[in-house]
């Protein structure tokens, strides 16, 4: 069964550093998403991406965050200057259409120290 692949599985970074979280969505999917889950809390929407542009973003997704689909296969989330409160599991997801269910990746655990 096709999978959404996320790398790395765990990343530790110092506060103020830039991090890039990488995702390879399912190849024929058209809609891409990032979500995050702080330990013990709900899964929260960050951003959706379609046709090479952001279609929706949450209040969490401020100027420190950006997304890119550089080569037609990868989908990246960049955090420019990490804060302690950015520590969370980050999940990438993709879907082929707007009604179909999402396929989520297994996540990247980001720890900011």
Binding site for other proteins (CB under 8 A): 4, 31, 33, 35, 37, 42-45, 47-48, 55-58, 89, 91, 93, 98-99, 101-107
CA-based nearest residue to 25, from 97, 87, 74, 82: 74
Q: Do 75 and 24 meet the contact criterion of CB atoms below 8 Å apart?
A: yes
Q: Pick between residue 60 and residue 64 the one whose CB is nearest to other proteins.
A: 60
DSSP 3-state of 1: coil
CB of 20 to other proteins, least distance (A): 19
What's the rounded Cα separation, in Å, for the pair 29 and 100? 10
Q: Pick between residue 17 and residue 97 the one whose CB is nearest to other proteins.
A: 97
Q: Pick between residue 19 and residue 93 the one whose CB is nearest to other proteins.
A: 93
CA-to-CA separations, 13 to 9, 45, 52, in angstroms, rounded: 13, 22, 28
Q: How many CB atoms lie within 10 A of CB 78?
A: 13
CB of 96 to other proteins, least distance (A): 12
CB of 3 to other proteins, least distance (A): 10
Q: Pick between residue 14 and residue 51 the one whose CB is nearest to other proteins.
A: 51
């Amino acid at each position: 069964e096709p999978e959404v692949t996320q790398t790395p599985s765990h990343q530790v970074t110092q506060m103020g550093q830039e991090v890039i979280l990488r995702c390879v969505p399912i190849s024929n999917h058209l809609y891409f998403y990032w979500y995050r889950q702080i330990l013990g809390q709900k899964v929260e929407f960050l951003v959706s991406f379609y046709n090479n542009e952001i279609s929706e973003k949450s209040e969490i997704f401020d100027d420190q965050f950006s997304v890119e689909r550089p080569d037609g296969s990868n989908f990246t989330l960049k955090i420019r200057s990490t804060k302690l409160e950015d520590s969370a599991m980050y999940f990438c997801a993709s879907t082929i259409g707007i009604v179909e269910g999402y396929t989520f990746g297994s996540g990247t655990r980001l720890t900011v120290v």
